[in-house]
Amino acid sequence: MSTVVAVPTAGADAGAPPPTRSPRPSWRAGRTRRIALRAVALLVLLGLWQALAVLTDNPTFIPSPGAVWDRLVQTSSTHDGVRGYSGHLLIEHLGVSLRRILVGSLVGVGAGLVLGLVMGTVPWVRVAAEPVVTFVRALPPLAYFSLLIIWFGIDETPKLWLLSIAALPPVAVATASAVTAAPATLVEAARALGGGRWAVTRDVVLPHALPEIFTGIRLAVGIAYSSVVAAETINGVPGIGGMVRDAQRYSQTDVVVLGLFAIGLSGLLIDALLRAAEDRLVPWRGRG
């Protein structure tokens, strides 16, 4: 007794369509869509801004985008014998503020890292220092700026102290929290292999804490940047915050809006640089 097995021929399935897969959008196409969406959103905001300026018909209340653009051209060049604003170009005002923010942030972030690391590794230091750090973090910058002026005068020193104090608490809190949250199993395993306190902190605790530390650094730089206007309320020209405060006194709303745009756009650039540094230095963020 023989069994016949039917073998399908190649021609039987020749006419059948191949299985289709849903096409995935390429990275380039996704990036193009994001750029297009942001451009459309920007155009919509500009249209709403122009409409509000026309409806109010009061440049002191809401200047038009064209008025702010004209002010940008004036403050970036010498116009009718006047150089920029208060004798300084817009880029010079912004450069002075960025230098203050850079120095203040470096001091505040450095001190916050050291303090947070000690708070996270030495329990009694955390118990003693945590209320003080929380107290300082809750204070608005203007609350202690007057005291800094009494102590250090009206030159650069109180401004740098203000930005440093504003930048310290977020980094200290983030670092202490991240160090404390390091996996106990990994720490005990490193100690069992003969690692000392510093070796365990350097090779186990800090790599685990770096993502949260970077988040604290980004917050600290943002807080320092938002405090620059307060830091430049006294003798702040040249400086973008001082320019804004001076324009506010004379109801030059277009200069105020221009200064806000300069602060916001440069802040976006700084945050993008910090995120790029984070992606390069902490490639394991978000990975199990």
For the segment 199-226, what is each residue's pLDDT rounded down to a tens digit?
A: 777 777 777 778 888 888 999 988 888 8
What is the distance between the alpha carbons of residues 10 and 204, in angstroms, rounded to a whole number? 60
Which candidate, 100, 43, 93, 97, places its Cα nearest to that of 71?
Answer: 93
Share of the chain above pLDDT 90, in %: 24
Strand partners, 83: 78
Indicate the pLDDT class of residue 25, thresholds 50, 70 and 90. Answer: low
Confidence at residue 1, expressed as pLDDT on a 0 to 100 scale: 46
Indicate the pLDDT class of residue 17, thresholds 50, 70 and 90. Answer: low
What is the distance between the alpha carbons of residues 80 and 247, in angstroms, rounded to a whole number? 19
Summarize pLDDT for 134-170 with one digit per residue, the tens: 898 888 888 888 899 999 988 889 999 999 999 999 9
Indicate the pLDDT class of residue 12, thresholds 50, 70 and 90. Answer: very low
pTM above 0.95, yes or no: no
Neighbours of 35 (CB within 10 A): 10
192 or 47, greater pLDDT: 47
> Which amino acid is it at 234?
I
